[in-house]
Chains A and B, each alone.
Chain A
Amino acid sequence: MGFGDTADDGGVVDIQNKVVSEEEVALVREILKALVKTIKTFTVYPKGNPIYEKFAAEMSEKFAAFFGRTDILSLEVEQNSLSYKGHTVFESEDRHSNFSLILYVDGIRQISFHEGLSEEELVSFIDILRIGPKDDNLDDDVVTLLWDKDLPHISYFVPEEVGEFEMGIEEDLEGVVVEFPSASPSATEAGGAGAKASETASASPIGPGGGGSAAETSASSGAVPGTGLGRLREESEGLRGDALLTATLSLFFELMSAEQDAERFADLARNIGRAISILAEGGDVGGIIKVLRLLRKLADASEDERSRRAIGEAGEMAGSLETMKMLFSGGSDPEMLAEYISLLGKDAVVNVIEILGQSEDRNTRKNLCDALVPFASKDVTPFINALDDARWFLVRNLVLVLGRSKNPDALRPLERSLRHRERRVRNSVIRGLEHLGSKQAVSVLAGLLSDEDRTVRMNALRAMKNADPDTLYPYLLDKVLRADFGRLEFDEKRAALEALGEIGREDALPYLKRLLTKLPIFRRTEVNETRACAAYGLGFVGGETARALLESGTKARTDLVRAACRESLKRFKKNA
């Protein structure tokens, strides 16, 4: 006697009254207790592990034992409990292990397990409960996951609709009759029989009383990979994700090319903007570049101001901060990123600068700076505003960009940045002026040669030597001949005298000779240092006179001078 049978001895009553035997209820409780343990076990052990397999098999056996007595196990789902024919068979308030809650939250109010439930189905069901859907993803709910897994022996009720239901159509369909075999031909038989069979098959009408020819159909799908139908299947399955988006974008551009109505045009453009944000989420810089190129083409071809504006707005999405964050955090190819930035409108520069300020990766910063230079060469305005940014490391990068831009308008903002509180920024400004290289920039550098900061003076010297050595020479001479020159630090004197020698060559010879041969009476250390630095300068002059002077200097009484002369002579040998 199974569950639900009526009996005269009481205890077991008609199922309709939901009064059932203690034995049956206890069995259901056991099953659910085992289910909880199995869920936990599957979380710990991977598939294939003996313990995993053992629990799966035992779970399946428990269900099988139940189905030996009745063919369905239906549970009513509540927030923290499950009940079976009016009896609570599972209760838990623990939000992490309470699987009735998982079902309840996704709207399932009843779940049923049917006879024939396989171990595979059970495992799939447990996986759904174990991993669970995400809270904020509408499509990723338990109901969809259950459907997706295709579990024929598990059914559920979800109240999706409220109120009266239009039954007319359903009643109408009751009269439909199909008079042919119900079994569908195998979908796995190969052969591409479709094309051939079709032409000969005497297709009979489908319908009430319509006798279908006993199907001489063999293959239904014949969709073997590589064959015609197989290719069609692959093609249709490939139309998802990026391929689908690309196809849709092609459609939008096609429609835009033909669209005369401004509002509809704008609608299409807005959707292109949406598509761009989808591409950005996928890190697809290449896709965005294609879209931007097409947009540019469209804009060039368009004579209508409103259309051009709509296109511009679509393109703005490509240059938005959110889009850039997604693209620049994705490890995309630097060249592609540079191209992408080059296609953006000037309004996007502000966002690129912001990304530069946020980037923690050196290579990314370098790529961003490279990409910004062409923008700065056209318009320095967005950069000027950013020079007031509190992030000194950003300002440092921007002054270098401004310098590299060679835009004359960059001079004023660079000069202003010489007063920046951060020394590293000031030094970068000098490099920026060097890159700028204009007469006015060199003039600013010249003014820095006598700055009170030694580092600034030396950097300015170096920058000016690279940018415009001819203009530097007279300043150098002036500096070297000043009475207080000797009192400068060794490395500054050396830098100046080396530069003098390198730039002046023969012209610098008399000055360097005078300094080298001056014998100290007072301020011995200072004078000897200057003599050594002059020797280094002579090393850059070259020629026989300089060599002779240096050889003579190798016999000097001071170690410092002798060493400098010897070192400079090595330069002669190297250059020889």
Chain B
Amino acid sequence: MPRPDDSFELSVQRRGRALIINLSILARLADIYSSSNDAVTNAAERFLSDLREIMSDLGEVTVKMASESFFVEDMRVKATKADLDNFAALIKTLDDRGVGSLTFRSSLDAPTIIDCMYALVRGEDLAGIQAALDAASDGAMAVDAAQAARDDSDVDLRDTRLVARRAYAKAVAALVDIHRTLTAGKSLNVKRAKRAVQSLVDSIAKDEPYVLALTTRRKRDHYYFLHCINVAVMAMALGRRLGIDKYAQSRLGMAAIFHDVGLSEEKVEYLAGRSDLSPDEINMLEEHPVEGVRLLLRSRGLNEVSMLSMLIAYEHHMNLDMLGYPRPLKMWNPKVLSRIVRIVDEYDTLLSRKVFGQENFTHEHVLSIMHANARNAYDPQLFGLFLNMIGSA
């Protein structure tokens, strides 16, 4: 079984951890020794080496601290048992001064970072520390107040519908974030989306009709993201009805989120309400499965979810009669999970036309269109299961 190869996450974890440990050591040494001490200089060099490595990838780096955890690129950095003392020391240093985040905007040299550290450990309040940092680094390093970690304590876990709404909203927010990094050519951080999808899986198990009902809130605003999450939700629900376990449902959901990644947000919204496409537009549409694979290849490394994402992105417009698109050079059998997405994607896309002004695309009208296409386009067993699902919902 391929082991996870979320290279971006692993990379941030590894480098983030090293950065925090070396920052902690530097801060403690700065508290004890003078700036001319070798130990301080060496610690500064080590810290800068980590910082430069991480900045070469991410540009500006912000280290946040909340609920006794550190976050880099909004990803919680996991401490091993061996790191805990260093983490705890830095937490205390920051906590005592009301500092919640440190931002490094541009490259620093050793003397500057040392001055910044002295500004931090000798400062008594946020404003004083920031003023000292400005003087020392000319804005290259900044601090900010502590922020709370996003706290779901307002959610009564017994209120399954509130939990479902929260999970859905988090999934959309995570996808917006992912999309931003994808279009910026950066590697993908999917951890947030993963947790949200897992929560959706649980919600579907507890109250499938309600979660499916959430997909009906179609709007023009954020259409692309809502559509992707709707497809993921319906795919997971259909997968659950097929009998696949929750881990497989979660994988399917994560992969389904990326099914239209080959189309930009603008293109999707442009095409969404249109039925009369020009040849160029049709060409663009038919290219998007392959384009999706290309984008995913560059961004996601090779692991279970990324491979599944690529297959679904490639196959989700293929019909059973081998028409549809793309048209592979050799015989091709779309996978079951792709066939699931084929159906739910079509359903959500057609229903969304109403949002873009085509009022006649009611639920009944959409189903009549799908019935007419069913023989050639969809897996009959899955289509039957799907109709059962939305019929029962």
Contacts and interface: CB of A to CB of B under 8 A. Distances in A.
Interface string A148-174: 101000010111111101110110111
Instruction: Say whether chain B's binding surface is mostly helix, strand, loop, or mixed.
Output: helix
Interface string B186-207: 0000011001001000100001
A176 interface: yes
B122 to A, nearest CB: 26
Contacts of B13: 138
Given A157-B151, A206-B212, A251-B314, A229 B297 contact: no
A192 B380 CA distance: 12
Contact of B332 (A78, A254, A271, A282): A254
B270 interface: no
A105 to B, nearest CB: 6
B224 interface: no
B391 A217 contact: yes
Contacts, number: 288
B345 to A, nearest CB: 16
Interface in A166-225: 166-167, 169-170, 172-178, 180-182, 184-185, 187, 192-199, 201-208, 210, 212-213, 215-217, 219-223
Interface in B327-376: 328-330, 332, 335-337, 362-364, 367
A148 B168 CA distance: 19
B367 A221 contact: no
A78 B304 CA distance: 34
Contacts of A165: 150, 170, 173
Contacts of B152: 157
Contacts of A194: 241, 381, 384-385, 387-388
A316 interface: no
B260 interface: no
A274 interface: yes
A188 B310 CA distance: 31
Contacts of B383: 198
Contacts of A105: 78-81, 84
Contacts of B298: 267
Interface string B210-240: 1011111101001000000000000000011
B263 interface: no
Nearest to A238: B336
A36 to B, nearest CB: 18
B179 interface: no
Contact of A240 (B192, B304, B380): B304
Contact of A187 (B150, B240, B290): B240
B277 interface: no
Given A107-B78, A162-B66, A187-B243, A254 B329 contact: yes
Interface core residue of A137, A141, A160, A195 (most chain B CB under 10 Å): A160
Contacts of A241: 1-2
B390 interface: yes
Contact of A254 (B302, B328, B381): B328
A158 to B, nearest CB: 8
A192 B383 CA distance: 12
B310 to A, nearest CB: 6
B153 A195 contact: no
Contacts of B382: 232
Interface residues of B, number: 105
B68 interface: yes
B216 A278 contact: no
Interface residues of A, number: 101
Interface in B36-75: 64, 66-69, 71, 74
A12 to B, nearest CB: 23
Contacts of A358: none
B111 interface: no
A101 interface: yes
A223 B213 contact: no
Given A198-B391, A244-B307, A160 B150 contact: yes
A220 B241 contact: yes
A244 B311 CA distance: 9
A81 to B, nearest CB: 12
A78 B195 CA distance: 22
A79 B383 CA distance: 51
B78 A160 contact: no
Interface in B117-158: 147-153, 157
Interface stretch (B4-12, B25-33, B278-286, B316-324): B4-12
A481 interface: no
B173 A169 contact: yes
A257 B327 CA distance: 13
A215 B390 CA distance: 10
B241 A170 contact: no
Nearest to B100: A162
B74 A159 contact: no
A141 B385 CA distance: 35
Contact of A264 (B242, B294, B302): B294
A316 to B, nearest CB: 17
Contacts of A216: 391
Contact of A106 (B78, B302, B335): B78
Nearest to A261: B294
B372 to A, nearest CB: 13
A404 B268 CA distance: 65
Contact of B302 (A141, A161, A271): A271
Contacts of B363: 203-207, 210
Nearest to A258: B329
A166 B384 contact: no
A281 interface: yes
A203 B384 CA distance: 12
B268 to A, nearest CB: 18
Contacts of A206: 209, 212-213, 215-216, 363, 390, 393
A135 interface: yes
Contact of A244 (B239, B304, B328): B304
Contacts of A271: 297, 302
B115 interface: no
B242 A198 contact: no
Contact of B380 (A195, A212, A278): A195
Contacts of A222: 385
Contacts of B328: 254
A237 B248 contact: yes
Interface of B: 1-6, 9-10, 13, 64, 66-69, 71, 74, 76, 78-81, 84, 88, 147-153, 157, 165-166, 168-170, 172-173, 176, 191-192, 195, 198, 202, 207-210, 212-217, 219, 222, 239-248, 290, 293-294, 297-298, 301-302, 304, 307-308, 310-311, 314, 328-330, 332, 335-337, 362-364, 367, 379-393
A-B interface, 3 closest residue pairs, ranked by CB to CB distance from nearest: A159-B149, A223-B243, A198-B387
23 contacts: A105-B78, A110-B153, A155-B157, A159-B69, A160-B192, A162-B64, A162-B148, A174-B165, A180-B393, A181-B209, A184-B208, A196-B384, A205-B362, A205-B363, A206-B212, A210-B363, A217-B392, A221-B240, A236-B335, A236-B337, A267-B298, A268-B297, A281-B2
Interface of A: 78-79, 95, 101, 105-107, 109-110, 135, 137-139, 141, 143, 147-148, 150, 155, 157-163, 165-167, 169-170, 172-178, 180-182, 184-185, 187, 192-199, 201-208, 210, 212-213, 215-217, 219-223, 228-230, 232-233, 235-237, 239-242, 244-245, 247-248, 251, 254-255, 257-258, 264, 267-268, 271, 274-275, 278, 281-282
Given A180-B392, A220-B385, A254-B332, 4 more contacts: A106-B78, A198-B388, A271-B302, A281-B2
